[in-house]
Amino acid sequence: MKYSVDKQDRYTVFQLEEENLNSVVAPDLKSEIVILHNEGVNNLIFDLSKVKYVDSSGLSAILTADRLMKTNGSFVLTGIEQAAVKKLFEISRLDSVLSMVPTKAEAVEYVFMEELQRELEADGDEGDEGDEDE
């Protein structure tokens, strides 16, 4: 499986350098996602701009990445440019479940907004601890 990983301070971009995200690629992809998660990557931007075909194994790998990354952070899909790939996400209704944005720049902004929201919620939870008697 060919791919590139660009680690930044607050997010990591994983770009799949394959035309097909299928049963041949999916097991390796899942392994790489688990490794990134275990290394402490919390916010993952998954760039599919080079992918022209996704099958059910590929969708499974994407859903695994989404579930794993959202335990502590964000998982955002970007670069879905091929009509067949877009259609698959629409037909499977995953476009309503997964965080999907058109460009990498928008994905970075999305990650920052989610991170800010998590920080605000954590601060709000700390302030609520003494309010139980009211």
Domain ranges (residues) in the chain: 3-128
**Contact 104/79 with Cβ under 8 angstroms?**
yes
- How much is the pLDDT for 124? 82
What is the value of pTM for the model shown? 0.90
Q: Which CATH number fits domain 3-128: 3.10.20.30, 3.90.1150.10, 3.40.50.20, 3.30.750.24?
A: 3.30.750.24
Strand order of the β-sheet with 43-47 is 3-7, 12-16, 43-47, 74-78, 99-101
Say whether 126 sits in a helix, a strand or coil: helix
pLDDT at 93 over 80: yes
- How much is the pLDDT for 47? 98
HSE value, Cβ hemisphere, 13 Å, CA-based, for 45: 28
pLDDT at 44 over 70: yes
pLDDT at 133 over 60: no
Residues of the chain above pLDDT 90, percent: 89
Query: Of residues 66 and 129, which shows the higher confidence score?
Result: 66
Strand partners, 76: 45, 99
For residues 101-116, average pLDDT: 96
